[in-house]
Amino acid sequence: MTTATPATPVPPEGSLTGLTVGVTADRRRDELEALLRRRGAKVLSAPALRIVPIDDDALVRDATDACLARPLDYVVATTGVGWRGWISAAEGWGTGARLVEACRGATVISRGPKATGAIRASGLRESYAPASEAVDEMLAWLLDRDLAGKRVAVQEHGAPLPEFTAALRERGAEVVEVPVYRWGPAADPDAVRRLVEATVRGEVHALPFTSAPAIDAFLATADGAGRRTQVLDALRTHVLAACIGPVCARPLLAADVPCVWPERGRLGALVRTLDQELPHRHRHQLATAEGNLTVQDAAVWGPEGTVHLTPLPTAILRALAEHPGTVLSRAELLRRAWPADTPDTPRPTDEHVVEAAVGRLRSALGPYSKLIRTVTKRGYRLAVDPG
C-alpha cells in the first residue's frame, strides 16, 4: 500500500479527513467527538451504554452508610469523576463531612492522576498511586499487607471489579463495594445497531473504546443482530480497535482482536493514537499528470482543493487506490466494492452496476475526474505516473 510520509500535505479539514470513526462512549462523549471532528473525521455517535445517575441511587447510599457504620482501613479510588460524584452525592444526603472524615482515618489508594486530583480536592491525601494507573498494581500493593479483619471500601468505575474484590476477601478483608456510577442499557439502541452494520459494511475505519463494558455492550448488540462474527472479523482486519488502556482492551484481546492504546489513558492521547495509525493505513499518494493527489478513503485532495465522496464511489476508489496503476476488472471491482451477500442486501451480479458506479465516481471527483481511466475490454485503473 502507498503510505503517507510526514511531508504529505494535510487538507484544511484535518489529518483524519475522509475517515469515519464510531464512538460508543457515553461519559465525555462530546469531548471525544469534538477532538475527532477537529481533525476532520466523520463521527458516527452510538453510545453503547448510558450512565445511571447516582443522586437517587439507593445502592450508592446504602454503600455510603456501610462505610460510615464502622471505621475503614483502606479506601480505593478508581476514577476522578467517580470520587467527586461520591463525595457530591454524600453532601446532598448530609453525610459528606462524615464520609471525608471516615476516609481521612483510612489509607487512601488512588488509581491515577485524575483520581488523585479529586482526592486532594476533597481535602484528603493519597498514600499510594501506581505509576501505571493499573487496577492490578493497586491490588498487588494491597495484597502485600495483612488484610485479615480489615475494612476496604472500593469505589467502582462503571462496572463491578469481581476479581479485585474477591482477592481482597480471600485474604480476610471485609469489602464495601461503592458503585458510584453504573452502566444502563443504551439510550438509543438503534444507533448502536446502525454502527454495527456500518462496521460490517466497511464504512467505519476505527472504533475507539473508553471502557470494557462499552465493548461488551457493543458486541452484545452485534450478537443480537447475528453480526458478532462479522464485527470481530472486521476488527481483526480493516477496522482499527483503539482502547483507552490495556484494562479496557481485555474483552477484545480475549477475542483475538488486535488493539492499540496510548501510554497514558487520556482522551487526547487516544485521539493522537488514532491520528498516528489511521492515515498510515488509509492514505495513498498519487502522482498524476494534473499534479500530486492524496486519497484518504472518502476524501481526495490536491491542487484543486478537497473532494468528499459517498460510500459506493469511495469503495470503488479505495479498491483502485490499493493497486495504483493496475487494471481491475469489473468483476474484481464488484467483489471488492460491494459488501458480501446478506439476507437483506444480496451483492449484485450484473457487472453493469460497476460502470454506473464508476460514472458516479468520476462525477463526484470533479476536477480530479481524469484520475479514473477506462481500459477497453479490461476494466479500470488510476491514471498515475508509474514512477
Q: Which residue has the higher pLDDT, 291 or 116?
A: 116
What are 231-262's pLDDT values in tens digits? 999 999 999 999 998 888 999 999 999 999 99
Check whether 6 has a pLDDT greater than 50: no
Check whether 291 has a pLDDT greater than 70: yes
CA atoms 289, 294, 298, 304: torsion sign: negative
Check whether 12 has a pLDDT greater than 50: yes
What are 14-70's pLDDT values in tens digits? 999 999 999 999 888 999 999 999 999 999 999 999 887 665 578 889 999 999 999
Q: Which CATH architecture has domain 20-48+186-281?
A: 3-Layer(aba) Sandwich (3.40)
Check whether 380 has a pLDDT greater than 80: yes
Q: What is the 3-state secondary structure (H, E, C) of the chain?
A: CCCCCCCCCCCCCCCCCCCEEEECCCCCHHHHHHHHHHCCCEEEECCCEEEECCCCCHHHHHHHHHHHHCCCCEEEECCHHHHHHHHHHHHHCCCHHHHHHHHHCCEEEECCHHHHHHHHHCCCCCCECCCCCCHHHHHHHHHCCCCCCCEEEEECCECCCHHHHHHHHHCCCEEEEECCCEEEECCCHHHHHHHHHHHHCCCCCEEEECCHHHHHHHHHHHHHCCCHHHHHHHHHCCCEEEECCHHHHHHHHHCCCCEECCCCCCHHHHHHHHHHHHHHHHEEEEEECCEEEEEECCEEEECCEEEECCHHHHHHHHHHHCCCCCCECHHHHHHHHCCCCCCCCCCCCCCHHHHHHHHHHHHHHHHHHHHEEEECCCEEEECCCCC
Fold equal for 52-183 and 289-382 = no
CA atoms 181, 182, 187, 188: torsion sign: positive
> What is the pTM for the complete model shown?
0.78
What are 267-280's pLDDT values in tens digits? 999 999 999 999 99
Average of per-residue pLDDT values in the chain: 90
CA-to-CA dists, residue 105 to 120, 139, 168, 206, 322, angstroms? 15, 20, 20, 46, 63
**Could you identify the residue written with the cell 499534479?**
291
Give me the residue spans of the domains in the chain. 20-48+186-281, 52-183, 289-382
- Give the model's pLDDT for residue 246: 87
* In the chain, % of residues over pLDDT 90: 71
- Give the model's pLDDT for residue 27: 80
Please give the class, per CATH, of domain 52-183. alpha beta
CATH T-level topology, domain 289-382: Arc Repressor Mutant, subunit A (1.10.10)
Would you state the cell numbers that stand for residue 60, as one nine-digit string?
450508592
The answer to whether the CB of 312 falls within 8 A of the CB of 347 is no
The answer to whether the CB of 9 falls within 8 A of the CB of 33 is no
Average pLDDT over residues 214-226: 96
- Give the model's pLDDT for residue 225: 95
Average pLDDT over residues 285-293: 87
The answer to whether the CB of 194 falls within 8 A of the CB of 227 is no
- Give the model's pLDDT for residue 133: 77
Distant-in-sequence, close-in-space partners of 135: CB < 8 Å, separation ≥ 6: 78, 111, 161, 164, 247
Average pLDDT over residues 113-120: 92
- Give the model's pLDDT for residue 54: 62
Check whether 344 has a pLDDT greater than 80: no
Mean pLDDT check: name the lowest of 31-35, 180-184, 210-214, 277-281: 180-184
**CA–CA separation, 114 and 119 (whole Å):** 9
- Give the model's pLDDT for residue 9: 66
What are 150-165's pLDDT values in tens digits? 999 999 876 778 899 9
Mean pLDDT check: name the lowest of 106-110, 194-198, 209-213: 209-213
